[in-house]
Amino acid sequence: MKIINTKIEELFIIEPEVFTDGRGYFFESYTKQRYQEIGLTDDFVQDNESRSIQRVIRGLHYQVGENAQGKLVRVASGRILDVAVDIRFGSPTFGKYVTTELSSNDFRQFWIPPGFAHGFAVLSKEAILCYKCTRPYSPEDERGIVFNDPTLAINWQIEDPLVSRKDKSLPRFKDIAKDFIYE
């Protein structure tokens, strides 16, 4: 397993060891002990999967309080641009973000801890995204930032995106509450 650091220390990409031969491939997408050795010591309590078509943007989402989620994201089919935004007030990287392309061809995973908003854009005809969460989904603790926020100015690499009504109505970055404080 290889760890790829990003420009924000808490966000990193995991490249698992993949065994291939004429029959196909095999890899361990998660082994608790190996992930604890690289610092992911929280227990994962929920697995999610979503299928989206090309040009879909989902996000930017996060949860607050005791249900703040860490997410370990991977793509089972297709290709996405994955995005994590630092929303920890006082952080030296507050308002900065990391984008990374994930695909079913590279098997990479993106670790996004609590204190970061998460979103993705589908770059292929369709994509199936799988992610493990450290806390369960909690509607009352769900928050978000509008995908096209002018302060963040994220290049989603999508023209004419398909975005849910709910995601289009999320607040701007400048209006988010101080739910996460950097220490």
In a domain, 90, yes or no: yes
pTM: 0.95
Structure tokens at 130: 């799988």
What pLDDT score does 87 carry?
98
Structure tokens at 53: 């078509």
| Lowest-pLDDT range of 14-23, 55-64, 81-90, 169-178 | 14-23
- The rounded distance, in Å, linking the Cα atoms of 84 and 100 is 9
Contact in structure between 156 and 121 (CB atoms under 8 Å): yes
Number of domains in the chain: 1
What range does the domain containing 139 cover? 2-175
What pLDDT score does 12 carry?
95
pLDDT digits (tens, 9 = 90+) for 167-182: 999 999 999 999 999 9
CATH classification at residue 54: 2.60.120.10
Mean predicted confidence (pLDDT) in 14-34: 92
| Lowest-pLDDT range of 35-49, 56-70, 82-96 | 35-49
Number of residues in the chain = 183
In a domain, 182, yes or no: no
Mean predicted confidence (pLDDT) in 40-69: 96
**Catalytic site includes residue 118:** no
Phi, psi at 180, each rounded to 5°: -130, 125
Predicted confidence band of residue 113 (pLDDT cuts 50, 70, 90): very high
In a domain, 36, yes or no: yes
Among 35, 62, 97, 131, the active-site one is 131
In a domain, 83, yes or no: yes
**Catalytic site includes residue 35:** no
Among 30, 35, 61, 62, the active-site one is 61
In a domain, 181, yes or no: no
What string of DSSP letters covers 38-56?
TT--SPP-EEEEEEEETTB
- The rounded distance, in Å, linking the Cα atoms of 93 and 159 is 28
